[in-house]
Structures are given as structure tokens and as C-alpha cells.
């Protein structure tokens, strides 16, 4: 890490040292996989040193790390990443809208559906996306601008869905899960329901039966992001190989390379070779190919906790 030097892109952006790495990764990500009709937008945090990253202006949640927006598909392949500026971490709606539009700019005007995960969107953002011949669904806050007051006071039963739609075709929905109200926004749904298969366990007979259940199409589609980002967090949730003593931009770049880029490589490897392989085994194989070393003992994911004997005979 001592010989890993970074330049400057010539701007006054606080991320000017790491922006060239991010731009190069984004250009490479889009080369090797064609995005589908449904893409998912979420955010995660790259934790930095246990102090403020920007000492002059400590800003809320950003004091523990950098928040990154990611655009991925159902195969957990990341097409683009965008680092949120420190000002965006103060929950400013305008900065968040601009950051999302920057993230999806090259993917609009093609009729795609963008599903937001763990990220509040706004009515203004939905209007901008629908103008670009695309659709979006996601969560909004209860008192977000544009939420009808009648919807806030309306009582909803568990599992049911109510909503209001404006002249542009944008709908604001409300539903209940275990007594807790949730609010969402969509540009392509109504109150229509679909039939899904649900597993029901019988603990007395110790059996599992499949039961048909009708659920709103909106809730079915918005739940798609849960499974996708659970797998994404499983692949990229490992800690960075750099320590807390290195500079913050090195730690940030290292996380993008060793987590995001390697996850993309794993997705492509599985598709091209039609092979099931664990992340640990893939990293071991990737390391051997990069350094051209094959005489080291193999370390499988099944026995990764075992100690290896490197003593000579």
C-alpha cells in the first residue's frame, strides 16, 4: 500500500483522488454485460477510519464512512457506482435526486423499470424518470411532498393496499405489515392483484404445503429487491483488505476493486463456464491466475479455518 499512489482529477470535489478509479471501473463494468429490463438501485456504506473523514465539516452519517449508490441487476452484477458527496448525507432531497439521475443517466429512455432498495425516493424524481421513458418503484416517507393527506389518515388492513394516482400516472400507495404502515410510489402499477404460491408449514404433521394467495402486483415487484440485495451483501460484505490506518481514498478504492469488481467477475465466470463456485474458491483461483502461482497448497472454503503445514519434508 505504500507504493499505491493516487493523482487528482483537477476538480475541487472531495473525492477527486478516487474519481479516476471509479470512472474507469464504471466504463469496464458496462462493457461485458448487457443490462436487462429491470434494474435495482441501492446504497451501501464503506466504513473508513474511526474519525471524521472530512475534519473541517463533520456531516452526520458520513462521519463513519462513504455512502455509495449502486445500479445492479438480478444476477447481482453491478453496472455503475456513484459516490455520494458529503452534502448528500444530510438527507437533502435535491442532492439525492441529482445523484440518482447521474447514476441512471445512460440507462434511461429504454423503457426500463428501476426498483429502489433501502432508499427513499421523491415525487420529483419519479416525474424526471417517467419523462425519460422509464418507470420506477420505491419507498417514500409518510410526510413526503406529494403524499395525499387522505392517504395518511386512511386505515389499511394487513396485506391490503390502497393508493391514489395523479394525472401523470404516478401512484402513491399505502399498506400495512404487522400493524406498521408503509408508503411507496410507482409509475406503472395499479391496485391489481396476482396469484402467487406460498409455502405453509404444518408443524403438527411436519409437512409443507403450497397454497395459492393473491397479493398486489406492486408489493410483489417491490419485494424483488430484497433477495437481490441479500445476495449482493453476502458477496460484497467482507471487510476490506486494507487496514484502518491507510488513507480513506485508498480504503474506498480497495473496497470497490476487491468487493464490487470481484463480485462482477464471479457473475461473469459462472455464466461463461456454467459452473457453481463459492466466492472463497473463486478468489483463490483468481489470485493464482493473476500472480501465475500454482504450486501453493489449495485452500478450499470448506477448510479455510484449518492451519496449513508449510514445513519442508
Contacts of 31 (CB under 8 A, 6+ apart): none
Q: Model-level pTM?
A: 0.82
Based on its alpha-carbon atoms, the radius of gyration of the chain, rounded to whole angstroms, reads: 23
Distance (Å, whole) CA 94 – CA 213: 40
Q: Which three cell numbers stand for residue 45?
A: 456504506
The confidence score (pLDDT) of residue 306 equals 41
DSSP assignment string, 206-254: TEEEEEEEEEEHHHHHHTHHHHHHHHHHHHH-SPPSS-TTS-HHHHHHH
Calculate helix-pair angle for 262-273, 224-236, nearest 10 degrees: 110
Q: What is the pLDDT of residues 223-275, one digit of tens each?
A: 888 888 888 888 876 556 665 556 778 888 888 888 899 999 999 999 999 88
Distance (Å, whole) CA 221 – CA 218: 5
What 3-state class would DSSP assign to 170?
coil
Task: Please provide the size of the chain in residues.
Answer: 313
Interval 173-200 mean pLDDT: 83
In order of 135, 185, 194, the CA distances from 217 in angstroms are 15, 13, 6
The confidence score (pLDDT) of residue 243 equals 58
More confident residue, 50 or 141: 141
What 3-state class would DSSP assign to 281?
helix
Q: What is the pLDDT of residues 92-126, one digit of tens each?
A: 566 788 889 999 999 999 999 999 988 888 888 99
More confident residue, 77 or 177: 77
Q: Is the pLDDT of residue 55 over 50?
A: no
More confident residue, 198 or 24: 24
Amino acid at each position: 500500500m505504500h507504493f499505491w499512489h493516487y493523482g487528482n482529477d483537477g476538480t475541487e470535489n472531495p473525492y477527486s483522488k478516487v474519481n479516476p478509479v471509479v470512472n474507469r471501473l464504471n466504463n469496464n463494468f458496462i462493457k461485458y454485460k448487457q443490462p436487462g429490463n429491470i434494474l435495482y438501485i441501492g446504497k451501501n456504506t464503506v466504513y473508513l477510519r474511526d474519525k471524521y473523514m472530512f475534519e473541517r465539516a463533520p456531516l452526520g452519517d458520513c462521519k463513519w464512512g462513504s455512502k455509495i449508490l449502486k445500479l445492479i441487476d438480478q444476477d447481482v452484477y453491478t453496472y455503475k457506482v456513484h459516490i455520494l458527496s458529503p452534502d448528500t448525507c444530510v438527507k437533502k432531497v435535491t442532492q439525492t435526486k441529482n445523484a440518482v439521475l447521474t447514476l441512471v443517466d445512460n440507462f434511461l429512455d429504454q423503457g426500463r423499470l428501476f426498483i429502489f432498495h433501502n432508499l427513499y425516493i421523491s415525487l420529483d424524481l419519479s416525474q424526471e424518470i417517467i419523462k425519460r421513458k422509464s418507470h420506477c418503484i420505491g419507498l417514500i416517507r409518510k410526510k413526503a411532498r406529494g403524499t395525499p393527506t387522505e392517504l395518511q389518515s386512511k386505515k389499511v388492513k394487513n396485506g391490503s393496499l390502497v393508493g391514489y394516482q395523479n394525472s401523470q400516472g404516478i401512484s402513491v400507495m399505502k399498506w400495512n405489515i404487522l400493524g406498521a404502515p408503509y408508503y411507496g410510489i410507482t409509475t406503472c402499477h395499479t391496485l391489481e392483484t396476482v396469484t402467487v404460491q406460498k409455502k405453509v408449514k404444518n408443524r403438527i404433521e411436519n409437512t409443507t404445503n403450497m397454497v395459492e394467495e393473491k397479493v398486489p402486483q406492486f408489493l410483489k415487484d417491490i419485494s424483488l429487491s430484497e433477495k437481490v440485495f441479500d445476495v449482493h451483501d453476502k458477496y460484497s460484505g467482507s471487510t476490506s483488505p486494507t487496514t484502518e490506518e491507510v488513507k480513506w481514498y485508498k480504503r474506498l478504492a480497495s473496497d470497490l476493486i476487491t468487493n464490487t469488481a470481484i463480485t462482477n467477475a464471479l457473475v461473469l465466470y459462472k455464466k461463461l463456464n456454467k459452473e457453481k463456485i463459492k466466492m472463497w474458491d473463486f478468489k483463490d483461483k483468481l489470485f493464482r491466475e493473476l500472480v501465475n502461482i500454482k504450486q501453493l497448497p489449495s485452500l478450499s472454503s470448506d477448510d479455510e479455518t484449518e492451519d496449513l503445514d508449510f514445513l519442508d519434508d
